[in-house]
Structure 1
Amino acid sequence: MTGLGYTLPAVLAVIAVCAWELACLRTGLFRKPAYWISMAIVVGFQIPVDGWLTKLSAPIVLYAPEHTSGLRFPWDIPVEDFLFGFALVTAVLLLWERRTAKEEA
């Protein structure tokens, strides 16, 4: 089954983190400009680093083609890396927001 080994968990991670925020935590993180600026900074650093690690001409990190969607952009970066990155950074920021709200209460 193509894409199930890496793509499916990446998509599920994004769905889970978004559902956690929208249904449970409700921190309002997605409405904050600082969140989107933070995500732009993360992607700004992720592209050159991940691009260097996954470039097809001399990869340092190899992905089994049968476990990814095969979509790579830009510079040969598997799109799944961006999904996992979004889920990870967002989950950490949600925990930060939750803790901050508890401390202020």
Structure 2
Amino acid sequence: MPEYTVLTVASIVLVVLLELCVLRTGIFRSGVYWISMGIVMGFQVLVDGWLTKLSDPIVLYEASMTTGLRVPWDIPVEDFGFGFSMVTLTMMLWLRARPRPGDRSPQEEP
């Protein structure tokens, strides 16, 4: 069983469900979010491509744990899923934790 693939898909589903059902930050409707993800993925291609290149890998993957699909430059496709989940979850939690208009800071309490 390709465990890395299963865990990648599970992380994507959980992050999307967390946004749609619990946090509701509206992040998926934000152009800034999608631009940010494009920037993140661009740098991920550079770094991950260097780390996972089949000609001289620094990071090795057990072939039975992935789909074997590698794009571009030998990057396992699962890495992009985990990157999406990690960055999106961080951004959603950051948005949720920020003060909202009308919130009072602890210094303003009577």
TM-score, normalised with respect to structure 2: 0.89
Match 1:62 to one of 60, 73, 96: 60
Unaligned runs of 5+ in 2: 104-110
Match 1:80 to one of 67, 75, 78: 78
Segments of 4+ moved more than 2 angstroms: none
Structure 2 CA distance for aligned equivalents of residues 88 and 13 of structure 1: 8
Count matched residues: 101
Match 1:38 to one of 36, 39, 57: 36
Pairwise mapping of residues 1-105 of structure 1 onto structure 2 (< 5 A)? 1=1, 3=2, 5-100=3-98, 103-104=99-100, 105=103
Structure 1 CA distance for aligned equivalents of residues 72 and 20 of structure 2: 30
- Match of 1:30, SS state, is helix
TM-score, normalised with respect to structure 1: 0.94
Shift of 1:93: 0.3
Q: Indicate the RMSD between aligned Cα atoms, in angstroms.
A: 0.7
- Match of 2:64, SS state, is helix
Shift of 1:75: 0.3
Tell me which amino acid in the other structure corresponds to 1:54: T
Among all aligned residue pairs of Structure 1 and Structure 2, give the percentage whose two residues are the same amino acid.
57
Tell me which amino acid in the other structure corresponds to 1:33: G
- Match of 2:20, SS state, is helix
Q: 1:6-26 CA distances to partner (integer Å, 9 max, x unpaired)?
A: 100011000000000011111
Q: 1:31-55 CA distances to partner (integer Å, 9 max, x unpaired)?
A: 0011001100100100011001000
Q: Mark the structure with the bigger radius of gyration.
A: 2
